[in-house]
Amino acid sequence: MKTAKTVGIVGYGAYIPRNRLKVSEISHVWGGGGAPIQEKAVADIDEDAVTIAVEAARYAVKRAGIDPREIGAIYVGTESKPYAVKPCGTIVAEAIGATPCVTAADYEFACKAGTEAFQTCMGLVSSGMVKYAMAIGADTAQGRPADALEYTAACGGAAFIFGLKNHRTLAYIEGSYSYTTDTPDFWRRSREPYPRHGSRFTGTPAYFHHIVGAVKGLMGELGYGPEDFDYAVFHQPNTKFPIKVAKMLGFPMDAIKPGLIVPFVGNTYAGSTLLGLASVLDVANPGDRILVASYGSGAGSDAFSLVVQDAISNDRRLDPAVSIFINRKRYIDYSLYARLRGKILT
């Protein structure tokens, strides 16, 4: 999918809560084996998907250096909405000062709700309906105690502001491609606190099939191969999957390492791919080409090709890099984690 007019990223921002839970703490409590990651980020008692979205959005506005009233659309991709009915986007829009002349909504597509919002923003900007549009992916992901998901479900998010490509945009988008089917690998029914998943079913027919479909589709449309990209970012539910899918598609480890933050942060669901892209933009140079491919259970993948522009050298050090959030941490034990995440009934 290509836009009529080329769209670029005007600004981006990230946020990761300070608490970290080592996976060894979870194994200690539940006796599970294996370590899909090292540690995961956990929201504090007064944080949720909305506060994470607001933090990331504020950094994005600062980095963009734009008047927030010029943002005409705000979409928040999340599966941990604090309100079942009342859009997170309304609170974000008010907090950054984009109200009232703005359209806002929340997006839902498991871990790819954020990139879903990318495409909507690109369309709105390209058509001229809005000057700037903001897409956010933020989650405080839930895993049932002792479930495999509990080892990785984490909290964090990132925000991106899109505008027409010009000398101020940090990177522009060459095209995107979506690959979607009805694949029940992971779901959460209404009013259920924790999701369920099809265990092994989450791999081959789900994550790998959809990402490979989207990335091959995108490269086919643009006439590129893996060698044309300097960086690749894939959705990161654990450390193994993105490394394996990169190998399947022919991307070297060097290309995915700068965006591979899951070992230290965990799977931030809708925030995952976006935080990976933000980490790459923190270190990329003008002219670099970046492949981004999200994955959302249910299932689908959105792939994008971006080219970094000259403006990145001026703008990107204005605000904390993702690495600063990764290194800002305090370790908590399982009991405090259980209290913070509402796993203890009082």
Partner 1 sequence: MSVPRYWREIKYRYRLLGCMCKECGSVFFPRRHICLKCGSRDLEEVKLSERGRVVSYTVVRNPPKEYEKYAPYIVALIELGDGARILSQVVDCEPEEVHLGMEVEATFRRVREDGPSGIIEYGYKFRPVIS
- Active site (annotated) includes residue 111: yes
Per annotation, catalytic residue among 197, 209, 210, 235: 235
Type of residue at 125: V
**Contact positions toward partner 1, by CB under 8 A?**
18, 44-48, 50-51, 54-55, 58, 82-83, 91, 94-95, 97, 319-320, 324-325, 328, 330
> Nearer to partner 1 by C-beta: 64 or 246?
64
d(C-alpha 340, C-alpha 318), whole Å = 32
> Nearer to partner 1 by C-beta: 83 or 187?
83
CB 334 within 8 A of CB 307: no
d(C-alpha 283, C-alpha 265), whole Å = 18
Smallest separation (angstroms) from partner 1 to the CB of 70? 16
Smallest separation (angstroms) from partner 1 to the CB of 324? 5
> Nearer to partner 1 by C-beta: 16 or 232?
16
- Active site (annotated) includes residue 209: no
Residues in the chain: 346
Closest CA to 272 of 10, 89, 40, 11: 40
Smallest separation (angstroms) from partner 1 to the CB of 331? 12
> Nearer to partner 1 by C-beta: 189 or 330?
330
Per annotation, catalytic residue among 25, 39, 47, 79: 79
Provide the phi-psi class of 3: left if phi over 0, else alpha when psi is between -120 and 50, else beta.
beta
- Active site (annotated) includes residue 79: yes
Smallest separation (angstroms) from partner 1 to the CB of 261? 17
> Nearer to partner 1 by C-beta: 4 or 84?
84
Per annotation, catalytic residue among 111, 155, 174, 209: 111
Smallest separation (angstroms) from partner 1 to the CB of 295? 29
> Nearer to partner 1 by C-beta: 54 or 71?
54
Smallest separation (angstroms) from partner 1 to the CB of 94? 6
The catalytic residue positions are 79, 111, 235
